[in-house]
Structure 1
Amino acid sequence: MKTLVVYYSYSGITRKLAEDIALLTDGESRELKPKKPYSYSYNTAVKEVRGEIERGYCPPLAEGAEPVGDAELIFIGSPNWLHTFAPPVLSFLRAVNLSGKTIIPFCTHGGGGFGDMLERYQKECGASVIRDGIALKGDYNFDELQTWIEHSFTHPVSGLSR
């Protein structure tokens, strides 16, 4: 089964998790990059994001909105921003046809878990199968991720370590 790992990362924490998922699933990785990056100042970025989330804004993507092709299993990840996924993820979900695909959400967070991401995935991906995902803090343990993947999928990963 072809696997694709799609993600948005502001600070690199979600990128690390996405790369680890791609490694453990032998999946291809795709980063979502908005045409206009968020501010390097975290507080300013939070203000920018809050406005986008409140308006339901989908920032144009410079990279990442390409069709998913024959990928059947698609991990989609984001940091938990204000209890939901980052706006570039919404842009991806609305731009790319995910009908019939299996979606596995993942996120990084500082204590809020998925927030309302799972409900939003259900709303945006109604023609897809949404499977249980994983929400990890930024300092997650690689072995914890590997165990989750091995127990969650019919094709367990063996012999990988870090």
Structure 2
Amino acid sequence: MSKTGNILIAYFSYSGNSKKVAELIQEKTGGDIFRIETINPYPTDYNAVVDQAKREQEYNYRPKLAAQVDDMGAYDVVFVGYPNWWITMPMAVFTFLEEYDLSGKMVIPFCTHRGTGLGGSVDDIAELCPNSTIIEGLEIIDDEEIGQQIDIWLDRISISNRLSYK
């Protein structure tokens, strides 16, 4: 994978799994990292988080974010990471993608999950970023050999190889 161009790795992580993947991608690409966090943190109780995530999705709610990317215009490539919540991204990631104009940028999803893969998240990203090139995403199901899975994926999607989902 080429380390040319300006790369941002933006991620939302509840349990730390997506954060771990984001940090490995940063280590391997040399990009900048940005954590997508909500102003009001999610509950620590798993069942309460599940209930809240489901309600947010049902009502198409956009939680407010705690921080913003200083200069999104400086990036050509934006990796977007998240856990799969209810077959798509957490609503905080929807908020993030709607706050920036990612036109002309490569947007590369990565997702942690427990058996649901990327779900409908790639379609949702394509809808939110209609003027971006959406590159093949990575889905991580468990903690085994994450580094190796990321290496194989990064080799497959080399930045010059623009596999678009449009």
- The two structures have a TM-score, normalised by structure 2, of 0.89
Partner SS state of residue 61, structure 1? coil
Letter in 2 for 1:13: N
Match among 126, 130, 151 for residue 126 of structure 1: 130
Q: Distance in 1 between the 2:94 and 2:39 partners? A: 14
Indicate the SS of the match to 1:69.
helix
Give 1 or 2: higher strand fraction. Answer: 1
Decide whether the 8 Å contact of 2:109 with 2:137 is kept in 1: yes
Structure 1 gap ranges (5+): 156-162
Q: Which runs of 5+ in 2 are unaligned?
A: 161-166
Q: Structure 2: which amino acid aligns with 1:68?
A: M
Cα offsets for 1:72-116 (capped at 9, x unmatched) = 011001000010001110010111111111100110000100011
Cα deviations across residues 101-148 of structure 1 (Å, max 9, x unaligned)? 110011000010001101101111101111111111131411121121
CA distance in 2, matches of 1:73, 1:153: 12
Which AA in structure 2 matches 1:125? C
Cα distance 1:76–1:154, how it changes in 2: closer, same or farther (>3 A)?
closer
- What is the alpha-carbon distance in structure 2 between the residues aligned to residue 118 and residue 154 of structure 1? 18
Q: How many residues were matched structurally?
A: 155
Residue 163 of structure 2 corresponds to none
1:80 pairs with 2:80: no
Q: Check whether the contact 2:10–2:22 (CA below 8 A) recurs between aligned residues.
A: yes
For residue 136 of structure 1, the aligned residue among 133, 140, 143 is: 140
Residue 152 of structure 1 deviates from its aligned partner by 1.7
Matched, 1:111 2:118: no
Residues 32, 65 of structure 1: 8 Å contact kept = no
Do structure 1's residue 145 and structure 2's residue 150 form an aligned pair?
A: yes
Question: Where does structure 1 differ by over 2 angstroms across 4 or more consecutive aligned residues?
Answer: 64-67
TM (norm. structure 1) is 0.91
How far is the alpha carbon of 1:151 from its aligned partner? 2.7
SS at structure 2 position matched to 1:34: coil
CA RMSD of aligned residues (A): 1.3
Which residue identity is paired with 1:33? E
- CA distance 1:98–1:154, shift in 2 (3 Å): closer
How far the C-alpha of 1:64 sits from its partner, in A, is: 3.6
Corresponding residue for residue 94 of structure 2 = 90
Whether contact under 8 Å (1:66, 1:96) holds in the other structure is: no
Structure 1 counterpart of 2:33, from 24, 29, 34: 29
